[in-house]
Amino acid sequence: MTCTHLDQIHDVVPSAAGCEDCLKIGGHWVHLRMCLTCGHVGCCDQSPNQHATHHFHETGHPIVASAEPGEKWRWCYVDLMFIK
């Protein structure tokens, strides 16, 4: 099985220095994920608000990358798989 959504990712710059939705509501996050379609920075599923997953459900943007220093992986929400 391969991910067919790689044509939906672009060279993006992070939208914020932290989870932009948590920054708006004063929330906190555990880890950060960046949407590779639009650059939205959201928090991971271990975070209370899970904004990265919410962003996928709202926009359909399929692929996020870890925004944590030293982490290089990407994840496709549609295929539920890591992408090399």
Beta bridge partner(s), residue 41: 34
By CB under 5 A, is residue 79 in contact with Zn ion?
A: yes
Q: How far apart are CB 70 and Zn ion at their closest, in Å?
A: 21
Q: How far apart are CB 66 and Zn ion at their closest, in Å?
A: 15
User: Based on CB atoms, which residue is closest to Zn ion, 19 or 67?
Assistant: 19
Among 32, 41, 61, 74, binds Zn ion (CB under 5 A): 61
Burial zone of 75 (CB within 10 Å; 0-12 exposed, 13-18 middle, 19+ buried): buried
User: Based on CB atoms, which residue is closest to Zn ion, 38 or 71?
Assistant: 38
The CA–CA distances, whole Å, from 39 to 2, 17, 43, 80 equal: 23, 11, 13, 20
